[in-house]
Structure 1
Amino acid sequence: MAIEIANGKVAAFRPLGNDTADLQVGLISPQFVDLQVNGGGGVMVNSQPTPDGLRAIAAAHRSCGTGAILPTVITDSHDVIEAAAEAALATQGEPGLAGLHIEGPHLATERRGTHDAARIRPLDLKTVSLVERLRAANLPVMITLAPELADPDLFARLVASGAIVSGGHTQATAEETRTALDRGLGCFTHLYNAMPPMTSRAPGILGAALNSDAHAGIIVDGIHVTWDMIRIALRARPRKGLTFAVSDAMATVGGPNHFNLYGQKIFVRDGALINAEGSLAGAHIDLVKSLANLVNHVGLPLDEAIEMVCDIPCRVMGLPAPALPLGCAVTDLNILTNDFRKLDIS
């Protein structure tokens, strides 16, 4: 197919015919959608929970091929989480900012990963009321918590608000997970990571998640989860279209090779971000690289891989389906070579 571009916009889609294309590309698609973005462009949501902070993070990811993000505020004081919520409300409807992901602080300490143990606390009315206020303003919200530790009544209020309640950083058993699913748990946060290992007699939250019809995110950098385990997870789901890729990106994506988190300076080393305790501290990857990994390392067909970085995340959050309409700006597209390098033709 040929795409005709005039004045920086898509003017026509048509068969190539006998034309000679000006640019040889492997894939043209809408920009991707990432539901777990802690930072980018040298900025972390937690360190700069302001409208300008969220805009800077969105701009950094847009330059890497992700057109819409859920800025993700991780475990912190209620004041920081509330500031991030106010920033999300202030930027609601702006390009690239699709809502808010609150990851913690209502987690299992044993599975906290890089989250600050001193700031982890039970699900409380403050958080629930904040989420209800965001949802009353029609802001898409995902909240990650340990379902086995959540007060049932407060959990029910989160579900009733229309927020996507996601299980993560958790010690939940399979039975506890199935109970939470029955009560409205709708998603799982970064499969495998911050979850107990699945064994033959203790499937845990991971086994229950894989067998469920709920959506689940997964980090596709080959560091958080090996390629073999990603293949196993995708084959284990009841059907296609349930699992999506997230970056779990930190400030280093589109930014410098280090950032500060909870007073620690964390550097990129061999593609990984590791804190002083030896735990993974988020990821240094974007969704274009995740797409390449899904095709080249996991072995997915291109159409299934694109769904995981584009269509499925939109369905999870009730966002408009991605499209390539006539008249859209070239800057709204991902134009990739056959080896998934992003081309800039603006």
Structure 2
Amino acid sequence: MRTWITGGQVYIAGHMENTGLVLKDGKVEGFCSSPAPGEKDQVYDAAGAYVVPGFIDIHTHGGFGIDVNAACKDDFETIGHFFATQGTTSWLCSILTDTQEQTTKCIEEALAHMGDHKNCASLMGIHLEGPFLSSEYKGAMPEYLLKTPDLALVEKYQQAAQGNIRYMTVSPEVAGVPKAIPDIKALGIAVAIGHSGADYETAWRCIRNGAVAGTHVMNAMKLMHQHFPGIMGALLESDAYCEAICDGRHLHPGTVRFLIKVKGMDRMVAITDSIMAAGLPDGNYKLGVNDVIVTDGDAKLKDGTRAGSTLTTGQALKNVIRFTGKTLAQVLPMFTINPAKVVGADRKVGSLEPGKDGDVVILDQKFSVKDTFIKGEKIIKRR
């Protein structure tokens, strides 16, 4: 059975085309402007809408009342359904630095959910945010940080995850981190640098050794000085990808424009860094072991330190278009193929090429999410 998505403008190879999209057996089969559905086929009328690849969030700590660090198997399904309604079709769960026991438990619960993607976004794997991070730039991280990289511990976590840790954030200035990056990569983990005040040379050592991205750039990070460019200068100068939280709080709209101007759209990755409060009203929440207060949608610790966001990918897309004045087609790589490339998933997701997963988002003329398809199946929204 096929699903024919007809009547919309489809994002293909960097631009929008008036054609139809055909999904079959959970995959993109191809494009057809003159559909000829069979008797058992389904037809989705996307007239007046945009048909784009599903969004990929590689850095999020939860949403809709669920904190990743405290989540059980069923909780991951709850998060995944909420994300799917916001346009996210694939995601990594970001485990905040925690005790070894709790980190292992969270890995096991995430693993139990992986592969069970009925009516929810696909959990592609795990992002470890720490524990090899600078205490000076820990942001909302609890004090479970390690002062040297423990490769045996990373290997233990990766074994528990059955190879599904896809991404890890480390601080370059932690003694031994630059040298450890090739070993972390050898375990199948893409490495990002962040939570850091590292100098320029140390940051560049990490990038040359294989670090592919910067974690929520300009946040929990020493900023660039004309005489001491530091980690920010290295990330801007290099070809490393830059994660950006585009909620208008973590980065000023002008800063978003600046980053895109310097890095180019093909090296920018939109993330939410969302916490359990995403999709819910202001109030008191958790981020790992920390208490978080959300006021006017802004999540902070009691001492005023910003603690993740309440952002969704759907809102981030509209923000980036509004901040930059760029077209939908121009900004989509930040939400689709770029994050897929960071974690090595671009052969499976990130575009509407034939053979890739049938992950599709339908956007209205104001770029709001109307419907989401994951592996060819339309997400049924809960009341």
TM-score (norm 1): 0.87
List gaps (5 residues or longer) in structure 2. 1-5, 9-19, 36-43, 372-377
Once the two structures are superposed, residues 106-145 of structure 1 have per-residue CA deviations (whole angstroms, 9 ceiling, x without a partner) of 21111111111x212222244322354268x442511111
List gaps (5 residues or longer) in structure 1. none
Are the counterparts in 1 of residues 275 and 287 from structure 2 also a CA contact under 8 Å?
no
- Which among 299, 303, 321 is matched to residue 349 of structure 2? 321
Aligned to 1:260, what secondary structure does the other structure show?
strand
Residue type of the alignment partner of 1:338: Q
- Which among 27, 33, 41 is matched to residue 14 of structure 1? 33
| Higher strand fraction (1 or 2) | 2
Instruction: For 2:295 and 2:73, locate their aligned partners in 1 and report how far apart those are by CA, in whole Å.
Output: 30
Alignment of structure 1 residues 135-214 onto 2, 5 Å: 137-152=162-177, 153-214=179-240
Residue type of the alignment partner of 1:341: S
User: How big is the shift at 1:54?
Assistant: 2.2
User: How big is the shift at 1:249?
Assistant: 0.7
1:274 pairs with 2:274: no
- Aligned-pair identity in percent equals 27
Once the two structures are superposed, residues 190-234 of structure 1 have per-residue CA deviations (whole angstroms, 9 ceiling, x without a partner) of 111111111111111011001111122111111001011111111
Once the two structures are superposed, residues 140-179 of structure 1 have per-residue CA deviations (whole angstroms, 9 ceiling, x without a partner) of 5111110221425543321222211110101111111111
1:55 pairs with 2:81: no
Aligned to 1:53, what secondary structure does the other structure show?
helix
Instruction: For 1:159 and 1:205, locate their aligned partners in 2 and report how far apart those are by CA, in whole Å.
Output: 20
Aligned to 1:303, what secondary structure does the other structure show?
helix
Give the corresponding residue for 1:219. Answer: 245
Once the two structures are superposed, residues 271-296 of structure 1 have per-residue CA deviations (whole angstroms, 9 ceiling, x without a partner) of 21111010111011111111111111
Give the corresponding residue for 1:243. Answer: 268
Give the corresponding residue for 1:70. Answer: 92
User: How big is the shift at 1:15?
Assistant: 6.6
Are the counterparts in 1 of residues 7 and 45 from structure 2 also a CA contact under 8 Å?
no
Aligned to 1:109, what secondary structure does the other structure show?
coil
1:90 pairs with 2:115: no
Instruction: For 2:268 and 2:191, locate their aligned partners in 1 and report how far apart those are by CA, in whole Å.
Output: 15
Alignment of structure 1 residues 266-345 onto 2, 5 Å: 266-319=292-345, 320-324=348-352, 332-344=359-371
Instruction: For 1:218 and 1:240, locate their aligned partners in 2 and report how far apart those are by CA, in whole Å.
Output: 12
Give the corresponding residue for 2:126. Answer: 100
Instruction: For 2:187 and 2:77, locate their aligned partners in 1 and report how far apart those are by CA, in whole Å.
Output: 26
Give the corresponding residue for 2:103. Answer: 81
Are the counterparts in 1 of residues 131 and 144 from structure 2 also a CA contact under 8 Å?
yes
Aligned to 1:280, what secondary structure does the other structure show?
coil
| Higher helix fraction (1 or 2) | 1
User: How big is the shift at 1:326?
Assistant: 8.9
Aligned to 1:340, what secondary structure does the other structure show?
coil
Are the counterparts in 2 of residues 74 and 115 from structure 1 also a CA contact under 8 Å?
yes
Cα pair distance change 1:143/1:5, threshold 3 Å: closer
